[in-house]
Amino acid sequence: MNRSNAGRLPGGARMVLLVAVLGAVGLMSLRGFSRQFIYLPWRWSAEEARRWNPGYEEIWIPVDEGVSLHGWLYRGTHPDLAVLVCHGNAGHLGVQEGLLEPYRRLGVTALLFDYRGYGLSTGSPDEEGIAADALAAFDRLSDLTALPAHRIIVHGKSLGGAPAARTAIARRPAGLILESAFTSALELGRYHYPFLPVSWLLQDRLDTVGRLPEVRAPILILHGERDRIVPPVHAERLARAAGDHARRIMLPQADHNNTYRADSQKYLEELGRFLDQALAGGGTAGSGPDL
């Protein structure tokens, strides 16, 4: 044997080892950037935010560790109820402003805020951070309206379902609304990326389904039957986890991003019914039929 080749791997083995190393490095890189696949914030200037604002009251929400959140408040005519809206994973207030439209139609006060790192809000988003943001926004809304927790509804859209559910556990509001929400980032990631070790890659699990049994408030689940981003089965599993105090409403014409616009009449009817029940303190929402 040539002494210069002693202890060296054959060429094919070296290639396999190289591919394995590069694959490991790639996976480590993916894990390091996993939050950038979950949170897609848009930034803007204060001047742009003012131009986009259609007339809402501008709100600032202080959070621990020097984080300050930017929000828009719609003051409705109904004096006894308010809604905190936790938006989805992309954009900023301007992009997500449509979530306030149903509450404007119903005359219900509602606060939409940007998580840390979104819009004008400071900081960087992660699971614990946006959960703290939702709690701070809930308390700010209570202060602004002089309403106690049992007169406030928490509404989470898509990713917003996770911080909304955690807020419902911590603050015991009048109700919880989950719109186009997923069970967990892990389950959703496995659906979209079955070829990746999602369990290892994800830093933030956003496990809403695991927390719902702790929610004691009535729950309304709204989901589009044509949703391909968060498949409708997620709504079914969320309802099952929530138990008999949840009502699941499926919207046949809706996909992920047009839940309200696709069937505004039915959406408003179900939302109005839920708000009336919450305001009356009538106990559970009732399982009811899947409409």
DSSP structure class, residue 57 = E
pTM across the whole model: 0.87
The SS3 call for residue 139 is helix
Distance CA 152, CA 68 (A): 22
Sheet of 152-157: strand order equals 57-62, 68-74, 109-113, 82-86, 152-157, 175-179, 219-224, 246-251
Cα–Cα–Cα angle for 270, 275, 280, nearest 5°? Answer: 130
pLDDT of 281: 78
Q: Write the pLDDT tens digit of every residue in 29-81.
A: 444 456 777 999 999 999 999 999 999 999 999 998 889 999 999 999 999 99
pLDDT of 74: 98
Query: Can you list the domains of the chain with their CATH numbers?
Result: 39-280 (3.40.50.1820)
Asked if residue 2 has pLDDT above 60, the reply is: no
Asked if residue 136 has pLDDT above 90, the reply is: yes
Phi/psi for 69 (5° steps) reads -105, 145
pLDDT of 200: 82
Asked if residue 286 has pLDDT above 90, the reply is: no
Q: Write the pLDDT tens digit of every residue in 146-176.
A: 999 999 999 999 999 999 999 999 999 999 9
Distance CA 157, CA 266 (A): 17
Asked if residue 4 has pLDDT above 70, the reply is: no
Q: What is the mean pLDDT of the chain?
A: 88
